[in-house]
Amino acid sequence: MAMGASPRVLCVIVLLASLLTWGSCDAAGDGRRQQLTMLPPRGWNSYDSFSWTIDEAAFLHNAQIMADKLLPHGYQYAVIDFLWYRKNVNGSGKDSYGFDSVDQWGRPFPDPERFPSSAGGKGFKHIADRVHAMGLKFGIHLMNGISTQAVNASTPVLDVHTGKAYVEDGRQWTARDIGITHRTCAWMSNGFMSVNTDVGAGRAFLRSLYQQYADWGVDFVKVDCIFGTDYSPKEIVAVSETLKELERPVILSISPGTEATPALAENISQHVDMYRITGDDWDNWKDVRPHFDVARSFADANKIGATALRGRSWPDLDMLPFGRLTDAGVNQGPHRSTNLTFDEQLTQMVLWSMVKSPLMYGGDLRHLDDETFNLITHPTLLKINHHTKNNMEFGDIHSERTSEPNEQSGRSDLANNGGTVLGLSTCSDKRASGWYSSSNDQICRSYGIQNRNASFCISKAKLRQTVDGVTMRNEEDQAKFHLAGMDTDDGCLDASASPWRTSSASRTPMFSTCERHSKQVWELTENGHLVSSYSGLCATVHSSKEGESETTGARAWTATGDKGEIYVAFFNLDTASRKIAVRVPDLEKVAGRKLARKHLCTCTEVLSGKSRSLMKGDISAVVSSHGSMLFEIQC
Ligand SMILES: *[C@@H]1O[C@H](CO)[C@@H](O)[C@H](O)[C@H]1NC(C)=O
Ligand SMILES: *[C@@H]1O[C@H](CO)[C@@H](O)[C@H](O)[C@H]1NC(C)=O
Ligand SMILES: *[C@@H]1O[C@H](CO)[C@@H](O)[C@H](O)[C@H]1NC(C)=O
Ligand SMILES: *[C@@H]1O[C@H](CO)[C@@H](O)[C@H](O)[C@H]1NC(C)=O
Ligand SMILES: *[C@@H]1O[C@H](CO)[C@@H](O)[C@H](O)[C@H]1NC(C)=O
């Protein structure tokens, strides 16, 4: 670094000269300021097709196909999803204990049976090298915090500066000193727990983890059990700070996004590069549908492409579950085809593009068919995904049914929408207040349902003596925490998210078997908030009728291309086909200029290639159930 000063001075001058050369500082060899996420990242992730059972051969095979076929279309990150350190043997599974490979410093390392090149302490170095040689970048999934096995084993914390055990205040610190045993991950409570980042040893541990990943050649980390209902802002910031100190630029993706809102992202989006804004998206229309509302709220809050750790931060709608897949929570690789119809896949791809979501393909690439390939590499969709601005839902649309609803799906929609909807949100949400303690030991909240008032009550159950191993001692704790349960056999109100709780399931009542875990501990505040002790989020309740029109009918989104072209996407969320129309004068308000002047503008439906005139004063089309159309207006 003797010559370090001059490239930096040069760099500042370059930056002053033109913001467009952002990133040219990297030539100076300092990766810390590299702007890697100016565009939403693309890649492949192993979860949808392998759950956690991926091995080295299958991963490298998928990576090679990605390099050959998808890299030319910007798909760059090859990501190994969760539990790469877990032995795939009888008895191991998503929340088993004791099957993980953990080194003498308490850090997980790849299961050598599944990843043979990692043997002898080499970690993912060899795989990362292979992936880099293909021209790709390498990513891994991580659970937030520290392994329970490490805490149980009291492994010392590594100080990367000395290469020895971390010493502070004259003593060596161990995993037991930094693991927060009463903050285990709600959906993997045997596997991982939070780390105390208030102490030097906690931060040293994070440094020892991420330094090792950087040494292996990791370019991307997806940190789970840290956002959404597992919201842990302090740890998000601590991980982000740790990454900033590394020489190697590593981009940060966080999850899950169950119950995420723009308010929840407010304090953290600048510390990460992408963050999930829904629960897991599987290949089911009911999972796809909620993304429309969530995406609109993040677009309205200007969160698409906001400032980030390494460029801009991208609200992430989750992977694309097309092609050959597995099921959630199984010990099994790809064995079935996507359940989505082609129309539904197209709709998902168009929405993800209009929202500028990261695009992570989830299907097994060894079985990638032409139809799926053409969909995920559609040139106009990919151009929209990277090079548009003003991406937003367009409210001024007119639509009516042009067919009878598909009876079967119509019925199941109704069944699913009946009753009371419980949810979680940031406590500032107006639906979060209004809880009160009623006389007969119940906690209630009133809400409106078709011009009348209804109330929803949960019984206050006696709190167990211990929660997550912490004894509820004094009067204050007694008053503060309430384990709320129904008086029936429904179990306890549960604020956890899990990778198996999908985006559609996130608004169904949240009851599960009563456990001694803070995910089931609630506090009723004086402001009428029912607060989860696990995430600090507040319970909400409303009638499902309230949200019904939100999830049916038609939607439109607009965006502006980098040559000034206007994109308009129509989506039909209904179970019947619909005629959807937007008026050109309304579009002109968004475009900020005239579009209908004679011969000057052309309007083409991108997916069929058919063009139409704007002179009629509107753009209208019949769109099939769950289908979409995309118009490009060029002037
Ligand atoms: C694992 O379980 C399967 C089915 O339960 C059984 O057939 C197999 O022998 C077991 N393998 C071992 C190594 O125990
Ligand atoms: C931790 O180790 C103890 C024995 O030292 C064992 O009883 C306990 O079950 C272990 N923790 C978990 C989560 O299994
Ligand atoms: C964000 O930070 C502000 C200021 O520290 C705080 O008042 C607010 O509660 C935080 N929001 C969330 C969702 O944590
Ligand atoms: C896909 O379809 C199969 C067969 O109908 C069903 O068992 C499975 O649950 C479906 N998966 C999803 C994610 O909807
Ligand atoms: C519902 O309750 C609120 C608050 O108690 C009250 O102001 C309102 O008039 C009630 N509405 C109906 C329809 O009873």
* Structural tokens at position 621: 């089309």
Residue nearest atom 5 in ligand 3 by C-alpha distance? 267
Name residue, tokens 């909807």.
421
Alpha-carbon dihedral angle through residues 482, 488, 491, 492, given to the nearest 10 degrees = -20
Closest by Cα among 308, 263, 141 to 536? 263
Ligand 4, atom nearest to 286 Cα: 14
Give the integer Cα–Cα distance in Å for 296 and 276.
14
Closest by Cα among 363, 352, 349 to 314? 352
Exposed, middle or buried: residue 147 (CB in 10 Å: 0-12, 13-18, 19+)?
buried
* pLDDT score at 34: 76
Distance from the CA of 542 to the center of ligand 4, in angstroms?
Answer: 29
Give the integer Cα–Cα distance in Å for 352 and 360.
10
Closest by Cα among 253, 281, 277, 251 to 264? 277
In contact, 389 and 557? CB cutoff 8 Å: no
Give the integer Cα–Cα distance in Å for 355 and 317.
9
Fold for domain 397-410+549-634?
A: Immunoglobulin-like (2.60.40)
Give the integer Cα–Cα distance in Å for 424 and 259.
6
> H helices within 430-578, ranges in order?
475-480, 544-551
- Nearest-ligand number for the alpha carbon of 453: 5
Exposed, middle or buried: residue 349 (CB in 10 Å: 0-12, 13-18, 19+)?
buried
Distance from the CA of 521 to the center of ligand 5, in angstroms?
Answer: 30
For ligand 3, is residue 174 a contact (CB within 6 Å)?
no
* pLDDT score at 15: 37
Give the integer Cα–Cα distance in Å for 94 and 357.
27
- Nearest-ligand number for the alpha carbon of 188: 2
* pLDDT score at 14: 36
For ligand 3, is residue 261 a contact (CB within 6 Å)?
no
Best substitution site from 152, 174, 182, 188 to test ligand 2's pocket, by max atoms within 8 Å of Cβ? 152
Residues of the chain with pLDDT under 50: 1-29, 409-418, 475, 486-487, 546-551
Widest distance between CA atoms in the chain: 81
Would you give the distance in Å from CA 118 to the centre of its chain? 29
Give the integer Cα–Cα distance in Å for 236 and 294.
21
Number of H helices and E strands in the chain, helices first, is: 18, 39
Closest by Cα among 281, 422, 429 to 361? 281
- Nearest-ligand number for the alpha carbon of 91: 1
Residue nearest atom 3 in ligand 2 by C-alpha distance? 152
Give the integer Cα–Cα distance in Å for 574 and 626.
6
Residue nearest atom 2 in ligand 4 by C-alpha distance? 339
SS3 letters across 459-478: EEECCCCEECCEECCCHHHH
In contact, 561 and 384? CB cutoff 8 Å: yes
- 4-7: long-range contacts, CB 8 A cutoff, minimum separation 24: 4/28
Residue nearest atom 3 in ligand 3 by C-alpha distance? 267
For ligand 5, is residue 453 a contact (CB within 6 Å)?
yes
End-to-end CA distance of the chain: 52
- Nearest-ligand number for the alpha carbon of 92: 1
Distance from the CA of 153 to the center of ligand 2, in angstroms?
Answer: 9
CA angle 50–288–187, rounded 5-degree value: 55
Is residue 485 classed as helix, strand or coil in its secondary structure?
A: strand
Distance from the CA of 331 to the center of ligand 1, in angstroms?
Answer: 13
* pLDDT score at 480: 57
For ligand 3, is residue 264 a contact (CB within 6 Å)?
yes
Best substitution site from 232, 266, 275 to test ligand 3's pocket, by max atoms within 8 Å of Cβ? 266
Distance from the CA of 538 to the center of ligand 3, in angstroms?
Answer: 14
Distance from the CA of 151 to the center of ligand 2, in angstroms?
Answer: 10
Distance from the CA of 91 to the center of ligand 1, in angstroms?
Answer: 9
Ligand 2, atom nearest to 148 Cα: 13
Distance from the CA of 267 to the center of ligand 3, in angstroms?
Answer: 6
For ligand 3, is residue 233 a contact (CB within 6 Å)?
yes
Phi, psi of 297, deg, nearest 5: -65, -35
Task: Tell the CATH superfamily of the 7-386 domain.
Answer: Aldolase class I (3.20.20.70)
Give the integer Cα–Cα distance in Å for 560 and 558.
7
* Structural tokens at position 244: 């900033």
Ligand 3, atom nearest to 264 Cα: 13
Domain range list for the chain: 7-386, 397-410+549-634, 427-536
Distance from the CA of 113 to the center of ligand 1, in angstroms?
Answer: 17
Ligand 2, atom nearest to 152 Cα: 1
Distance from the CA of 455 to the center of ligand 5, in angstroms?
Answer: 11
Ligand 4, atom nearest to 284 Cα: 14
Distance from the CA of 29 to the center of ligand 3, in angstroms?
Answer: 36
For ligand 2, is residue 99 a contact (CB within 6 Å)?
no
Give the integer Cα–Cα distance in Å for 590 and 288.
27
* pLDDT score at 230: 92
Is residue 292 classed as helix, strand or coil in its secondary structure?
A: helix
Ligand 3, atom nearest to 233 Cα: 14
